[in-house]
Amino acid sequence: MTLFPAFLKLADRQVIIIGGGTLAESKLPALLQSGAQVRLISPRLNPNLQAQVRANNLEWWPKLYEPGDLAGAFLVIAATSIPEVNSAVFQEAEARHILCNAVDDIENCHFYCGSIVQRGDLQIAISTNGKSPALAQRLRQELEQQFGPEYATWLDWLGAARELLRAQNSDPELTKQWLHLLASQPMYEKFLRDSSAPSSGKGTA
């Protein structure tokens, strides 16, 4: 089966995580960065998750998962090491038409969380359809070397240039040609040279 790749807009949407340990913690940063409203359901939380609750970054229901707990959720993550709990969460999500991911439990997933390279607004996602997370991790490490932190700044520059061109040019085809030129490898290399060039301004101490 071929997966359908997608990047979800989770801002202000309810996301529920079942679990309070390292599996739950591993999913939290990306969810908070996306602006999701996160709720943890677990009798106990590890120290890092407790700190997030104290900082008011998420909501905590200190209890075991029970059917009905997923009401109102847009997406749910079963982050437990108990197959029976993961299965029960998946079955409720299925009944409620809620997207569900059970960490390291491919039978109880509607989607997989890819290995991600993030450089500002640039995201490169890698999926092996659950067959080899180790390969996805290796490819992520290679791509992190290929696409360094400077890509975040360059993408911001490209975004600003795109808005300026669209505002000044009424010819869509010409604008498209310019955008492709600006996004080319030679222009990237020129951007790096210009960014690293020392300032020639006078009057510095």
Q: Pairing mode, if any, of strands 99-102 and 75-78?
A: parallel
Count structural domains, the chain: 3
At 3 the pLDDT is 85
Domain range holding 120? 114-147
Percent pLDDT > 70 in the chain is: 95
Is residue 6, in this structure, part of any structural domain at all?
no
Is residue 129, in this structure, part of any structural domain at all?
yes
At 66 the pLDDT is 96
Q: Which residues does 85 contact at the CB level (< 8 Å), separation at least 6?
A: 18, 65, 78
Is residue 1, in this structure, part of any structural domain at all?
no
At 199 the pLDDT is 55
Q: Same domain, yes or no, for 93 and 178? A: no
Q: Is there a contact between 114 and 126 (Cβ–Cβ < 8 Å)? A: yes
Handedness of CA 187, 153, 32, 48 (dihedral sign): positive
Mean pLDDT (10-residue bins), the chain, 205 residues: 88 97 93 95 96 94 97 96 94 97 90 89 89 90 94 94 87 90 94 77 42
Q: Give the CATH number of the domain where residue 66 resides.
A: 3.40.50.720
Write the burial class of residue 102 (CB in 10 Å: 0-12 exposed, 13-18 middle, 19+ buried).
buried
Q: What beta strand segments (E) does 54-189 contain?
A: 59-61, 75-78, 99-102, 115-119, 122-126
Is residue 9, in this structure, part of any structural domain at all?
no
